[in-house]
Amino acid sequence: EKGKMTAIVGPSGAGKTTIMDLIMRFYDPSHGGVYADGVDLRQLDLASWRKAIGVVSQDIFLFNDTVANNIGLWQPEATEQRIEDAAREAYAHEFIQQMPNGYATNIGDRGWNLSGGQRQRIALARAILRKPQILILDEATSSLDSESEELIHEYIRRIRGTCTMIVVAHRLSTIQDADKIVVLQDGRIADQGDWESLLKGSEVFASYHRLQSGV
């Protein structure tokens, strides 16, 4: 739903990545459809649709280039100020400033000299710079340290309602505030609802929650 945060959860192989690929139109469904504002995505201009989306995934590809050029990858016309503003929003500005040449620092192939949390925050800044109407976080915090994870979730809390968010999460603790949680199992939607209703009414979700919480 527009302006809402929808979380997608489920074990490995349940279909989370498939849904993301369908949303991005890497391929189209053989049955049914994916709709935005009631319009089948296949009726939309592909380039325009993808331009409206910002994605931060678990596996981030960074180039052997400067911090600024990595953030501005999809917005080559962006000014230095816009790049810095995006980095501030992603809580990346502080550590970037501490690098040898700031935003002009070369980060190496795939960002080898950055921590996982720093790479994710640069990727988030890259997505923010696009000012996306739809922000997809595809297990973006699954391998982060607790500080970096909390910073990204602080950003999520801050922008709630300003864009449509789709969050694919392995750790259930990260999506308690979602407007809707879609629970996948064996390639199908097993249940959907908010956190409280699923804990009370979905055995699949409750079981998944027990496994993670040890309760």
Q: CA 61 to CA 55: how far, in whole Å?
A: 12
Mean pLDDT on 35-47: 92
Mean pLDDT on 116-136: 90
Q: What is the pLDDT of residue 143?
A: 60
Tokens of 149: 């994870």
Q: What is the pLDDT of residue 156?
A: 81
Which helix (H) or strand (E) segment is 165 a member of?
Answer: strand 164-168
Q: What is the pLDDT of residue 43?
A: 96
Helix axes 146-159, 116-129, angle to 10 degrees: 20
Q: CA 140 to CA 124: how far, in whole Å?
A: 9
pLDDT per residue as tens digits for the range 52-81: 999 888 778 899 999 999 999 988 899 999
Tokens of 154: 């602080």
- Taking phi over 0 as left and psi of -120 to 50 as alpha, with beta for the rest, 182 belongs to beta
Q: CA 127 to CA 172: how far, in whole Å?
A: 23
User: Is residue 135 scored above 70 in pLDDT?
Assistant: yes
Q: What is the pLDDT of residue 142?
A: 64
Which pairing describes strands 5-9 and 180-185: parallel, antiparallel, or unpaired? parallel
Query: Of residues 129 and 151, which shows the higher confidence score?
Result: 129
- What angle (nearest 5°) sits at the alpha carbon of residue 155, between those of residues 149 and 156? 90
pLDDT per residue as tens digits for the range 165-204: 999 987 787 788 899 999 999 989 999 999 999 999 998 8
Query: Of residues 127 and 58, which shows the higher confidence score?
Result: 127
Query: Of residues 37 and 201, which shows the higher confidence score?
Result: 201
* Mean pLDDT of the chain, nearest integer: 88
